[in-house]
Amino acid sequence: MRSIDFLIIGQGLAGSALAWELVHRGKKVMVIDEPEANRSSTIAAGLFNPITGRVMTKTWSADQLFPELHRFYATASSELHQPFFHPDTIYRPFISILEQEQWKLKSADPSMLPFVKRFHETSQWSHQVKNSWGGIEIAHSGYIDTNMWMKAIRNWLILSDSFMQAHVEESELHAGERIHYKELDAGSVIFCNGLGASSGYWFNWLPLKPLKGQTLRITTRENLERIYSRGVFMVPSGNEYAVGATYEHPP
């Protein structure tokens, strides 16, 4: 019986980040994952943006979370020698003079200043994007190459015999003072299997509501030098661009 501190089920974005953080805090982990079933993280564009929503406000706890996001992924990218972290500005065009005026006021708000890199009243990069009323460049944003990140973490875990590629039979998790699963004896088990929880043994009672994202991979003759976002996003991804919508609610 192998003793570990944490058994992590699922190695998508959440499971990868959690495993990295726990190991760096001196904990012993085992991650079990089915890569072919991990589609949400695989197709994700990896975009991170501190200003979101229909009325474009700071996302929850942005002042605390986004500096930590940058520290976390920059450190991991350096230690793993893999360039999966791409901090960059996001350009969001205005669609009316009214929106421009609203953002002129917002960008002067001291609480918004760290997240607005530049405010443009006139058209920018008009050969690439329609923006007759200008737009804003959002700071503390960018994207993560999700596939490179997860592959790097998987290889890193394999080096310390901390990764298993397998389907987890949740009914075989036996809880007492510790958690027992096959030959593993764990202090805790953490489920990072996303929507898979809805068809699992332990959490199928949760009223999970999936959100559907759409992403296309395209090539273009234009060399886009930045991320664009206005209803849909366009993110550089190697020699391609990821184009899509953040999500759509189910009917």
What does the domain layout of the chain look like in residue ranges? Answer: 1-46+145-208
Amino acid at 235: V
List, in sequence order, every residue forming a beta bridge with 137; answer none if it has no partner.
Answer: 91, 118
Query: For the segment 205-220, what is each residue's pLDDT rounded down to a tens digit?
Result: 788 777 777 788 888 8
Query: For the segment 128-186, what is each residue's pLDDT rounded down to a tens digit?
Result: 888 999 999 999 999 999 999 999 999 999 999 999 999 988 889 898 899 999 999 99
Q: How far apart are CA 24 and CA 75, in angstroms?
A: 11
Burial group, residue 206, by CB count within 10 angstroms (0-12, 13-18, 19+): exposed
Q: What is the pLDDT of residue 160?
A: 95
pTM above 0.85, yes or no: yes
Q: How far apart are CA 241 and CA 236, in angstroms?
A: 4
Cβ atoms 148, 84 nearer than 8 A: yes
What's the token pair of residue 83?
């360039």
Backbone angles phi, psi at 20, to 5 degrees: -60, -45
Coil, helix or strand for 179? strand
> 16 CB contacts (<8 Å, ≥6 apart)?
149, 150, 153, 154
- Tell me which fold the domain 1-46+145-208 belongs to: FAD/NAD(P)-binding domain (3.50.50)
Q: How far apart are CA 133 and CA 119, in angstroms?
A: 11
Q: What is the pLDDT of residue 241?
A: 87
Torsion angle of alpha carbons 84, 89, 94, 100, nearest 10°? 150
